[in-house]
Amino acid sequence: MSIINKAAAIGGGVIGAGWVARLLLNGIDVAIFDPDPEASRKVGEVMKGARRAYKQMLPGGLPKEGKLTFAKTIAEAVADADFIQESVPERLDLKHKVLAEIDAHAPANAIVGSSTSGIKPTDMQVAMKKHPERLVVGHPFNPVYLLPLVEIVGGEQTFPEAIEVAKELYASIGMKPVVVRKEIEAFVGDRLLEAAWREALWLVKDGICTVEELDDIMRYSFGLRWAQMGMFQVYRVAGGEAGMRHFMAQFGPCLKWPWTKLMDVPEFNDELVDLIATQSDEQAHGLSIRELERIRDDNLVAIMEALSKQNKGKGWGAGALHKDYTRELAKLAAKKAPAKAVAKAKATKPAKKAAKPAKVEKPAKAGKADKAKKSGKKKG
């Protein structure tokens, strides 16, 4: 169950709207700020898709949704939030401006997460004059309301306590937080994706394959393997009975063969953009982006549901988490139905209920960061 009382989303594009959907569907109130006059419509579209996906995960009904408010300023959006997620375009100057404003107006113990795909938190938190120690990168994957992973990265000024609280906050909305051990640009996920993307651009540019053929080569083969075991465990199995050592002995030397062009980027000119975009249009066979989003969501839910039944019913990988997440959401949904009965019970037993809200306690932990700051204790 969520430990977030009130969230703020700064930026409501592809990623910001995905965060809003995950938070609202967990019953959390969210205030959003986005200067785009179309923001409300766009967030509405994403919410529609997210509700549709969650209905497949929870045939018994969804929890009561949190309330969404469109704020007129960042200050208004963050004023009473204990968790703020920034998802504005990937430009350092804009991140600085927005984070400075968030920092100036958010409660001191609120955790600030940035969705950045690759900017180091150290480079962003210099703009936060009051409490830079509460900034973490919380890098999600699209669609945020379905894919559970969030990479957490701390900067030089981030306190370890803030990372711990962030881990709890993200986990409480059904996510799998992985803390990146050393701060590097693009973190782990996008380092891998960039390498594959660069190579894919070469392969299409050089006419080795079309975008559709490349996607087929991925989705009919190692893409399926990666979804359930990742890279290293798959290779361990590929080594046969002798496992990883044998796999490395056999395939390690190939790394020196001229197989890849990974260090170079093809020139990103109009010709390359036209080639890729035209082939991508053909591949879509007339399906709109929204239609493709629905297909993607249905497939992702189906994959996670299938994985949740593996491992003697305990679930495997993302499926094990999916099982826990849907169980928690179903419990939350069950609470909304007998609301009147619960309210009545509350009225007769006020003392017990008052002890319940673990919700308020958790974010307050960030206060430890304040204490630590005063005592000069910093992340190493």
List contacts with ligand NAD (CB under 6 A). Answer: 10-16, 33-36, 39, 87-90, 98, 115-117, 139-140, 142
Nearest residue (beta carbon) to ligand NAD: 13
Q: How far is the CB of 227 from ligand NAD (least distance, A)?
A: 18
Q: Which two tokens stand for residue 75?
A: 């200050």
The pair of three-digit structure tokens given for residue 25, joined into one six-digit string: 């569907």
- Cβ contact 140:19 at 8 Å: yes
- Non-local CB neighbours of 100 within 8 Å, separated by 6+ positions: 127, 128, 129
Minimum CB–partner distance for residue 354 and ligand NAD (Å)? 37
Q: How far is the CB of 103 from ligand NAD (least distance, A)?
A: 14
Instruction: For residue 355, give the DSSP letter.
Output: T
Q: Shortest approach of ligand NAD to residue 326 CB, angstroms?
A: 24
Cβ distance 231 to 223 under 8 Å?
no
The DSSP secondary-structure symbol of 134 reads: G
Minimal distance, residue 80 CB to ligand NAD, in Å:
18
Across-strand partners of 150? 177
Q: Give, as one character, the DSSP assignment of residue 175.
A: -
- Cα 34–chain centre separation: 19
Min CB(357)–ligand NAD separation in Å: 30
Bridge partners for 32 per DSSP: 9, 70
Q: Kindly tell me the burial class for residue 249, based on how many C-beta atoms sit within 10 Å of its own C-beta (0-12, 13-18, 19 or more).
A: exposed
What are the two backbone dihedrals, phi and then psi, of residue 139, each rounded to the nearest 5 degrees?
Answer: -85, 115
Q: How far is the CB of 119 from ligand NAD (least distance, A)?
A: 7
Dihedral angle, C-alpha 204, 206, 208, 211, nearest 10 °: 10
Retrieve residue 79's tokens: 């004023």
- What's the N-to-C CA distance of the chain in angstroms? 32
